[in-house]
Amino acid sequence: MAMLTWSIALIVTSAAVARAYNNGLALTPQMGWNTWNHFGCDISEDTIVSAAQAFVSYNLTQYGYEYIIMDDCWQAPARDNSTGAPVADPQKFPNGIKDLADKIHDMGLKFGIYSSAGLYTCGGRFGSLDFEVIDAQTYASWGVDYLKYDNCYNEGRAGTPQISFERFNNMSQALNATGRPILYSMCNWGEDGPWNFAVTIANSWRISGDIMDSFDRFDDRCPCTSVLDCKLPGFHCAMARIIDFAAPIGQKAGPGKWNDLDMLEVGNGGMTFDEYVTHFSMWSILKSPLILGNDVTNMTNETLSIITNEALIAVNQDPNGSPASRQTNTAVDGGSISLWQGSLVNDAFVVAVLNTSPNNQTTTIQMSDVFFDQGSVAGSEPWEFFDLWQKDDAGTWGKSIGTVQGSLEVDIGPHSVKVWRAIPQSSATKRFVEEL
């Protein structure tokens, strides 16, 4: 009987994978670091090697971080004029990209690169539009493991899901044809709804304009109120706005196909500690890729404590791959109180309450709301709740707050979040550490 259950599980798992991009990668959201949020165009071989060395010294791979991703501005002024192959800036990368990738690999990490499905990249370097095959082949020959693929200067080849699909599919096919497993991270800012059209051609897709290192600052350069029909994704999108953008589209993500809420700003200085805790928590439970965007060679202990919260990372990396969904959302002064829930393996759930208002709030959450999808038995039975931002006596993230039945009163600070792992009390052992 156990055998039979196991084989059914295998069939279900492989069916789920087959409905994603068929490169078999990112069965849980990818984790790593990217140059852009902190360094912008000011990058060189040294920037990237130093970050990789910091990964090793902080042992970040132990937590799941593995990709070191070089964003825009690595390119020379022009392609090789005889072969058309991409060429790196010889000043910034005197040893070339293959040598850099080798160094990253020698440190036990994986290496990512950036280009754009346009004539130019957003930073004005040469793009890959109509050069997909030679670029994919060159990346593979350099040992690239990951491509972030942007959307600037796309020559108007967007506007319907099908037009966008074709342009991004050209690179998807070219990457697969190399035979090298290369994670494909689309970055078309939600244009034409990639959560609908890209699930079979990419491992993740950005859902909005670029993140800004601010909790909720207003900025007209991020003009859309929703991403569902957004004509100008823009940039300077505050963190809390991206949470709102992501809320309705979690249903489209799963193993191998993730909504990318953009790279993390944790540690870059624009938000408070509590705001960064909120940022990391929400990216984790919404199953965004967790791509660090700070200077990892120079981190405070506070930053390190956030990005290494194993209990949150375990939620993000849960094999079930179900982004949390917003169950209730109630306006309060200057923001809202919202309730989020997502299912995890072994009958567990992640439950979160988010307060985007600038004031303390007290609220009572009803288990019938938390477990609305699961029905009245789940809503009325006892659950053991583990607070994922408290450590237990052994120093492990995730402290039991005891049994919760019926409702739970929650005090929550400004711009803050509470996140718990809920386990049916009938099987309430602290299993998630072993499940990492």
**Which active-site residues does the annotation give?**
150, 210
Report strand pairing: 335-343 vs 349-355. Answer: antiparallel
Q: What is the dihedral of CA 138, 144, 148, 153, to 10 degrees?
A: -20
Q: Does 191 bind ligand GLA (CB under 6 A)?
A: no
Residue closer to ligand GLA (CB basis): 38 or 399: 38
| Minimum gap (Å) between residue 390 Cβ and ligand GLA | 34
Q: Which of residues 78-137 bind ligand GLA (CB under 6 A)?
A: 121-123
Residue 297 to residues 76, 89, 277, 346, Cα–Cα distance (Å): 26, 23, 20, 37
**Phi, then psi, of 10 in degrees rounded to 5:** -65, -45
Residue closer to ligand GLA (CB basis): 28 or 116: 116
150, 191, 260, 318: which one contacts ligand GLA (CB under 6 A)? 150
45, 71, 192, 310: which one contacts ligand GLA (CB under 6 A)? 71
Distance CA 116, CA 72 (A): 9
What track of x and - describes contact with ligand GLA for positions 17 through 36 (by CB under 6 A)? -------------------x
Closest CB to ligand GLA belongs to which residue? Answer: 122
Q: Which of residues 253-312 bind ligand GLA (CB under 6 A)?
A: none
Q: Does 146 bind ligand GLA (CB under 6 A)?
A: no
Residue 134 to residues 71, 80, 128, 416, Cα–Cα distance (Å): 19, 11, 9, 47
| Minimum gap (Å) between residue 150 Cβ and ligand GLA | 5
| Minimum gap (Å) between residue 222 Cβ and ligand GLA | 12
Query: Can you read off the two tokens belonging to residue 79?
Result: 């392609």
| Minimum gap (Å) between residue 72 Cβ and ligand GLA | 4
Q: Does 210 bind ligand GLA (CB under 6 A)?
A: yes
Residue closer to ligand GLA (CB basis): 45 or 191: 191
192 touches 160 (CB < 8 A): yes
In the complex, the residues that contact ligand GLA under the rule CB under 6 A are 36, 71-72, 121-123, 150, 187, 210
